[in-house]
Amino acid sequence: MQLLYTPRSHYSRKVRLVLGALGLEATLVDVGNAAVAQAAVFGPNPLMKVPTLVDDDCVVFDSDHIAQYLVHRYDPDDRLGVLDGRVATLNARAVMNGAMAAEVELILAARTGIDTAAHVRFDKMRGAIDGALAWLEANVGVFLETPSYLGFHLVSLWDHLALYDLRPLAAYPRLHALAAHLNAHPAIAASRPV
């Protein structure tokens, strides 16, 4: 199995945490700068994004789809709650994925030389991240205190936001406490981006 990824990608981190929790090994293939527009760098992914999982002749795109594939193939008991279809869980994932996507747009725009402070479009993205964090803070009860896919999703988002310092995080003490609790697990802490 191979995982095309970047070490700082929060989407890739979710998958790496699932692989580790399920005891699965994958060769990590760092695609380098995710802002480049070179299709060959991203292997079989036509969207030129990470992560992409290659498992024998099966190729899977998107972190949530990869997690579902791994559970269907290797963990039919779904010990991590990847297949949890409750509305609260689905909403939390949608909110986190939306915040992660907005954050990626801001980071990649800045990396390519765009002044994100000069464009209203990017103000909306910062507002979306703030709105997502406020919603998650108000709905923190949806998360388990034990490692789960939803928790992996949260720490991946939270630590990425902290790494890039794009938004003030002090206003979200419940999320901070939960992320710190989850990051106390050695396998989760070892996957933190630097």
CB atoms within 10 A of CB 59: 15
In a shared domain, residues 180 and 99: yes
Do the domain assignments include residue 79?
no
Number of domains in the chain: 2
- 149-164 helix and 120-138 helix, angle to the nearest 10 degrees: 140
Give 59-86 pLDDT, tens digit per residue.
999 999 999 999 999 999 999 999 999 9
In a shared domain, residues 102 and 45: no
Mean pLDDT across 146-166: 96
Q: Rounded to whole angstroms, how far apart are CA atoms 90 and 116?
A: 30
State residue 28 phi and psi, 5-degree precision: -90, 125
Both tokens assigned to 111: 């990396």
Which has more pLDDT, 137 or 144? 137
In a shared domain, residues 97 and 159: yes
Is-above-0.85 flag for pTM? yes
pLDDT at 65: 98
Reported confidence tier of residue 34, pLDDT bands at 50, 70, 90? confident
Select from 23, 52, 74 the last residue of a domain: 74
Do the domain assignments include residue 82?
no
- What is the extent of the structural domain holding 29? 2-74
Mean pLDDT across 164-181: 96
pLDDT at 176: 97
